[in-house]
A and B are shown apart, each in its own frame.
Chain A
Amino acid sequence: MRQQELIPHLFRTEFRKITAVLCKLLGVEHIEAAEDLASETFLAALETWTFKGIPENPTAWLYAVAKNKTRNYITRNNVFSTKVTTEIIYSRRDKEEIEIDLSEQNISDSQLQMLFAICHPSIPAEAQVGLALRILCGFGIEEIANAFLTNKETINKRLFRAREKLRTEKIKIELPSAVEINNRLQTVLLTLYLLFNEGYYSESDSNVLREDLCLEAMRLASLLTDNEQTNQPDVNALLSLMCFHASRFDARKGENGEMILYHDQDEKLWNQELITKGAYFLRTASHGDRVSRYHLEANIAYWHTNKTDTKEKWEAILQLYNRLLQIEYSPIAALNRTYALSKANGKKAGIAEAEKLNLVNNHYYFALLGELYTGIDNKKAKTNFKKAFELAKTHPDKQTIQKRIDSL
């Protein structure tokens, strides 16, 4: 790999590892410093490697430089004299050198602990996702801004407030007690779910960015299933859901990057390996006495891995949506449920149910009505598709709707 490709690649894989370990080492007071130290390490690589060439083991080089920079930072700022880390001074007093542990084990431990710190209930959901992207996924501020369709200043402010909150609440970077793990796990799962959805349904134009977001969410969910304490049914259900969705990455992209809808997708492009993984995690999730929204959504996604239109399939999907909506309402679930109902109970029943939803600001709502009226009352179908077209925000969405109008 040449240097132009190597540094961005290493940045992707190593920045987040270094940051997590340093956050854990320096404590919540110094999160920004940890991010800066990691950034400076890559800056140093860029400068040095340009002149001296790429070292034999680039990752080891990065770790060594990160360690040096961190030691300097600690000495310069007398980090360990602050109150928060007094325990660390005592435990390290007799050691001449501060240990900076960049082993695989400590990296994943630190990332897992950081995940729980970020998902502290006092931090708003938006900021949690932002902070997770920055610290656990190594995303740049601009990339985060793109993912959220906003500007860098907004993201910077959001992250600043989140770090401030971590400090003022004195949140410890550690795996909480078993009871607290259970309390916070739902927030952790929701953050990962949002992170994944941010990628899967993002209105950002960059496909690469979208997939990266999804893969990062899956990687973090795997950290949870790999740890005995956090390997719980809900977590497996969420990871299963992610696998099923991710299996359709290649199939849902057209030649020009446009979105291909589920029933127009080429099943041969579905990733069988991910489908098998999804099924494995779904089976693992089927323990315990609680059915979470992730169980229901993973089951729905499982039914979608078989494209054959059977009554049994749509009936099963309808009942899963019926249950899901009782636990967790969302407009998109309400729309999907109505589509499933029209498949199971007939289009007329579907139209009656759809009219009740009255989601008049949602272009998917009118697209669904258009779809249901097609073949029953094409004039009404057209009116609804036109409303959907007006409300749709992105070019690909408008394109898809236009195709439906043209086919009437």
Chain B
Amino acid sequence: MRHQDGTKVASPEQIQEWMKQTMDWIGGIAAQNKFVSGTGLPFDDARVVLKQNSNNVVTNGPFGEIKETIGGFITVRAESVEEAVEFAKGCPVLQGEGNSVEVRKIARNDGIH
């Protein structure tokens, strides 16, 4: 789940509403027995380590120069990429203009995937 602009500050009510929508979305996938695991990545206490003039520089949060941030990821059990895409379409993150959900396979360590 990618957020286009992490600097925007939302109201507590708005955050609560997003939380509910996210939980309902994940619950809906779990109700189809397709949920494997989920990891939310909150922005508070986030740091970025970057290389500047051959030094490692630590900054607060990923929101300085980079526009796009990752809000979290979930792992689902899908029959096909099309099914996974259908799940992704329901993600509440997509309500934000410019946000995106990327669908990726998990490497199986079998030398092929």
B47 near A: Cβ within 8 Å? no
Residues of B within 8 A of A341 (CB): 24, 27
Q: Is B73 an interface residue (CB 8 A)?
A: no
Q: Which residues of chain B are within 8 angstroms of A356 by Cβ–Cβ distance?
A: 28, 31-32
State in angstroms the CA–CA spacing of A353 and B38 once bound together: 20
Question: Which of B20, B24, B27 interacts with A326 by CB under 8 Å?
Answer: B27
Nearest Cβ on chain A to B40's Cβ, whole angstroms: 12
State in angstroms the CA–CA spacing of A337 and B27 once bound together. Answer: 8
Q: Is the CB of B32 within 8 A of A318?
A: no
Is B35 in contact with chain A by the CB < 8 A criterion?
yes
Q: Is the CB of A251 closer than 8 A to any CB of chain B?
A: no
Residues of B contacting A358 in the complex (Cβ-Cβ under 8 angstroms): 32
A5–B24 alpha-carbon span in the complex (Å): 54
Inter-chain CA distance A183–B26, complex, in Å, is 29
A319 within 8 A of B: yes
Report the bound CA distance from A334 to B26 in whole Å.
12
| In the bound complex, CA of A341 to CA of B30 (Å) | 14
Are A322 and B26 in touch, CB under 8 angstroms?
yes
Q: Kindly state the separation between the CA atoms of A57 and B27 in the bound complex, as whole angstroms.
A: 58
List A contacts of B35 (CB < 8 A).
325-326, 329
Which residues of chain A are near B20, meaning CB under 8 Å?
315, 319
A338 to B30, CA, bound (A): 11
Chain B's nearest CB lies how many Å from the CB of A283?
Answer: 25
Smallest Cβ-Cβ distance to A358: which chain B residue: B32
Chain A window 41-82, contacts with chain B (Cβ cutoff 8 Å), 1 for yes, 0 for no: 000000000000000000000000000000000000000000
> Are B27 and A322 in contact (CB-based, < 8 A)?
yes
Interface of B (DSSP majority class): helix
Roughly how many angstroms separate A221 CA and B38 CA in the complex, as a whole number? 32
CA distance A223 to B33 in the complex (A): 34
**When the two chains form their complex, are residues A325 and B31 in contact, meaning their CB atoms are under 8 A apart?**
yes
Q: Is the CB of B23 within 8 A of A322?
A: yes
Report B19-64 residues with CB < 8 Å from chain A CB. 20, 23-24, 26-28, 30-33, 35, 38
Interface string of A302-333 (1 = CB under 8 A from B): 00000000000001001101110110010001
Task: Flag if A329 contacts B27 (CB, 8 Å).
Answer: no
Q: Are B33 and A329 touching (Cβ within 8 A)? A: yes
B24 near A334 (CB under 8 angstroms)?
no
Asked if A326 and B33 sit within 8 Å, CB to CB, the answer is no
A318 to chain B, nearest CB (A): 7
Q: Given the known A-B contacts A319-B23, A322-B26, are A357 and B32 also in contact in the complex, defined by CB atoms under 8 Å?
A: yes
Query: Across the two chains, which residue of chain A brings its CB closest to B28?
Result: A353
Given the complex, which residues of B lie within 8 Å of A197, measured CB to CB? Answer: none
With A319-B20, A319-B23 in contact, do A326 and B30 touch (Cβ < 8 Å)? yes
| Complex: A326 Cα to B23 Cα, angstroms | 10
A319, closest chain B residue (CB): B23
Task: Give which listed residue, A318, A329, A333, contacts B24 with CB less than 8 A.
Answer: A318
Q: Which B residues are CB-close (under 8 A) to A225?
A: none
Q: Please, which residues of chain B bring their CB within 8 A of the CB of A333?
A: 31
Q: Is A345 an interface residue (CB 8 A)?
A: yes
In the complex, which residues of chain B have a beta carbon less than 8 angstroms from the beta carbon of A318? 24, 27
* CA distance in complex: A325, B76 (Å): 13
* Residues of chain B whose beta carbon lies under 8 Å from any beta carbon of chain A: 20, 23-24, 26-28, 30-33, 35, 38
12 A-B pairs whose Cβ atoms sit less than 8 Å apart in the complex: A318-B24, A318-B27, A322-B24, A323-B27, A325-B35, A326-B38, A329-B31, A329-B35, A337-B27, A337-B31, A338-B31, A341-B24
Residues of A in contact with B (beta carbons under 8 Å apart): 315, 318-319, 321-323, 325-326, 329, 333-334, 337-338, 341, 345, 353, 356-358
Task: Supply 10 further A-B pairs (C-beta < 8 A) apart from A318-B24, A323-B27.
Answer: A322-B23, A322-B24, A323-B23, A325-B35, A326-B26, A326-B35, A341-B27, A356-B28, A356-B32, A358-B32
Shortest beta-carbon contacts, A-B, top 8: A322-B27, A325-B30, A334-B31, A329-B33, A322-B23, A326-B30, A337-B31, A325-B31
